[in-house]
């Protein structure tokens, strides 16, 4: 969740729009492809409709064992490999759903390992914690984030855990994506405040792994770095297939390999 910080190479002024309801329809864009970038200037929505009063009620009884939301399938053994980069650097991201579980706020979460390499060197090794509620929404409960430089651990600043020091979980994918809906992915005031808006549910996207229709496109940002905006694309039955900066930096990673879990 913290990779955007590394890739910022320029400050791009982004107009921030705050409506009375906190929601703004950004509309759809052209279909993404492996060679076509998105529009370079966008206006993220700052308030996801809660006016800053975020207090989700978490009851462990409301959560299920498996994560089978078609847009974020997190079954043990599932593996995704992405390649891309920016600034002339080659980035490789490997995401693996481990068989491990971690209890957070009384909820048994799935542990997912996310490893980032730049030009062959590990720069980030993170363990994320996810769980799905009975309605089919996938929640993010925190991460153990480790940043490296020349093989040495230099920071764990991105780490946070829901229920600790006021941190709260958020939704990373709803059961039924709807255009215009806005969600908090995480909430640790001043530390982790990522949000996203669903801007399309019918995109067509081509990446090295294949071409997909009916793709859910999100626009992601944080008020902690309002000039930085990413767009992500999710295909049913596979998960995230593409991620790219559209403001505040450059760089993209696209899916090159996917192995389903069991």
User: Residue with structure tokens 């996310």?
Assistant: 114
- Lowest mean pLDDT of 19-33, 125-139, 193-207, 211-225, name the range: 19-33
DSSP structural state of residue 206:
E
Q: What is the DSSP letter of 7?
A: H
pLDDT band at 212 (very low <50, low <70, confident <90, very high): very high
Mean pLDDT of 161-170: 95
CA 61 to chain centre: 25
φ, ψ of residue 124 in degrees (nearest 5): -150, 135
Phi, psi for residue 180 in degrees, rounded to 5: 95, -15
- Coil, strand, or helix at residue 186? strand
Give the pLDDT of residue 1: 52
54 in Cβ contact with 168 (< 8 Å): yes
> Stretch 62-86: mean pLDDT, rounded?
95
Decide if pLDDT at 154 tops 50: yes
Return the H-helix or E-strand segment holding 56: none
- Strands (DSSP E) found in 54-106: 63-64, 79-85, 91-104
Q: Which has more confidence, 251 or 102?
A: 102
pTM beyond cutoff 0.85: no
- Asked whether the CA dihedral 220, 221, 227, 228 is positive or negative, the reply is negative
Is it the case that residue 100 has pLDDT exceeding 70? yes
Mean pLDDT of 147-155: 96
* Closest alpha carbon to 226 in 250, 195, 180, 252: 195
Compute the average pLDDT of residues 169-186: 95
d(CA 93, CA 24): 32
* Comparison of pLDDT for 119 and 189, the residue scoring more: 119
Q: Are 25 and 179 in contact (CB under 8 A)?
A: yes
Give the pair of three-digit tokens for residue 227. Answer: 């000039």
Rounded CA-CA distance 23/15 in Å is: 15
Q: What is the C-alpha to C-alpha distance for residues 38 and 40, in angstroms, rounded to an integer?
A: 6
Rounded percentage of the chain residues whose pLDDT exceeds 90: 70
Domain ranges of the chain: 4-54+61-259
Architecture of domain 4-54+61-259: Beta Barrel (2.40)
- Is a pLDDT exceeding 80 seen at residue 224? yes
């Amino acid at each position: 969740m913290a990779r955007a910080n590394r890739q910022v190479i320029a400050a791009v002024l982004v107009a921030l729009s705050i409506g009375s309801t906190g929601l703004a329809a950004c509309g759809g864009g052209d279909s993404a492809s492996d060679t076509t970038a998105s529009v370079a200037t966008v206006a993220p929505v700052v308030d996801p409709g809660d006016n800053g009063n975020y207090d989700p009620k978490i009851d462990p009884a409301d959560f299920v064992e498996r994560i089978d939301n078609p847009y974020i399938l997190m079954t043990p053994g599932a593996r995704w490999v992405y390649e891309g980069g920016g600034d002339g650097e080659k980035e490789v991201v490997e995401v693996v759903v481990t068989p491990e579980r971690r209890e957070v706020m009384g909820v048994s979460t799935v542990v997912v390992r996310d490893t980032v390499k730049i030009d062959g060197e590990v720069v980030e090794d993170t363990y994320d914690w996810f769980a799905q509620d009975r309605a089919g929404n996938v929640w993010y409960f925190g991460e153990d984030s480790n940043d490296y430089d020349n093989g040495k651990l230099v920071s764990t600043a991105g780490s946070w855990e829901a229920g600790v020091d006021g941190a709260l979980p958020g939704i990373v994918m709803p059961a039924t994506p709807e255009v215009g809906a806005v969600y908090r992915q995480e909430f640790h005031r001043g530390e982790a405040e990522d949000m996203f808006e669903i801007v399309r549910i019918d995109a067509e996207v081509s990446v090295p792994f294949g071409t997909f229709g009916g793709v859910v496109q999100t626009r992601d940002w944080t008020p902690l770095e309002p000039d930085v905006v990413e767009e992500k694309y999710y295909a049913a039955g596979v998960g995230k297939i593409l991620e790219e900066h559209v403001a505040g930096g450059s760089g993209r990673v696209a899916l090159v390999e996917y192995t389903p879990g069991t």
